[in-house]
Amino acid sequence: MQPRLSNGPSPVFCTIVPPQILDKLSQSGDPLLSGPARRTLEADAAKRARRRLTALAGVPTVRSTAGTPPTTPHRTLYDCRHGTDLPGHQVRDEGEEPTQDASVNRAYAGLGATFELLHKEYGRSSIDGNGLPLIGSVHYDEQYNNAFFDGEQMVFGDGDGEIFLDFTVAIDVIAHELAHGLTQYTANLVYEGQPGALNESVSDVFGALVKQYSLGQSAREADWLIGAGLLAPRVSGVALRSMKAPGTAYDDDVLGKDPQPATMDDYIETEEDNGGVHLNSGIPNRAFHLLATALGGKAWERAGQIWFDVLTGGELASDADFATFARLTVTAAKTRFGTGDEAEAVTKAWSEVGVPTT
């Protein structure tokens, strides 16, 4: 399936750490926490504004390769050396030996694992379906508390060491951000409100799938945490988000309590964070977890296939809400697997989070 937009997808700026977390940190009385958070917020706001201008101008971003889609990735890693000029200094190209820099090697491996899942399990060559080269930059800025996909490449900060560690430590964070590119080249979901929450959720889903795929885990063996290992030891929490139990990933004196809702009963109406894209994503996240664990086995084989079919099938509008996405997953389940356990499990999963499928 080719991208919906023939003249190229609209570029977005998507980060793994929600702005409300950084805003909370920026208000801390501890300058070790507030300083890096404030600088990260300011930097993200500036990059987000530039992306909007790029989108309005209709400037194309990444280009696809021509010819037969390749079956292996082409990764190039750069070191920003704590600056902000992208992509930075090239340090590792496809096929080269590991470097002495663990961040470079982790990013290289994470990009490769994402390519492998997409290609081997879903027959897609890179995020655009045509073997798009994967670019990653590490050591971005000083104490930068985020990782992002800017429509062209992946970028990873080192964290402040107080709240966040190096953003390459969690493979699902790498895959999550790269999956924003997958969405950009398929449904191109608008990054606000419910379609924006779906955009975030799809990235969490594929982040979790890449992690499970790389570990060989079944749906029931997996922890279903996004960003496990990313929080520093001083933080009372296990990850940025929990797909299994939204709202339970952290409960910390500085960060506060994880605000994600688990059902539509607690849906958050807000103008912040593009209409709560990082908050309300907990609802479709939980639906996917319920489906994957109900079906059992490897989550990428049936549950993941259904989500992939919806994302790439050409029927998902860029402004789709939760109910539209849910209905399409039921249809996709029936199309691929018939009217058996899969379609029934999809319907039940959405019902449990309060999203109708009819």
278 catalytic? Reply is yes
* Catalytic residue list contains 221: no
Secondary structure of the chain in HEC code, one letter for each residue: CCCCCCCCCCCCCEECCCHHHHHHHHCCCCHHHHHHHHHHHHHHHHHHHHHHHHHHHCCCCCCCCCCCCCCCCCEEEEECCCCCCCCCEEEEECCCCCCCCHHHHHHHHHHHHHHHHHHHHHCCCCCCCCCCCEEEEECCCCCCCCEEECCCCEEECCCCCCCECCCCCCHHHHHHHHHHHHHHCCCCCCCCHHHHHHHHHHHHHHHHHHHHHHHCCCCCCCCCEECCCCECCCCCECCCEECCCCCCCEEECCCEECCCCCCHHHCCCCCCHHHHCCCCCHHHHHHHHHHHHHHCCCCCCCHHHHHHHHHHCCCCCCCCCHHHHHHHHHHHHHHHHCCCHHHHHHHHHHHHCCCCCC
How many CA atoms, within 13 angstroms, populate the side-chain half-sphere of residue 25? 25
Give the angle 176-178-179 at the CA atoms, nearest 5°: 65
Residues 139, 180, 278, 289: which is the catalytic one? 278
251: Cβ–Cβ under 8 A, 6 or more apart, which residues?
236, 237, 257, 258
246: amino acid identity, one letter: P
Residue of 119, 162, 176, 177 marked catalytic: 177
Active-site residues: which are they? Answer: 177, 278
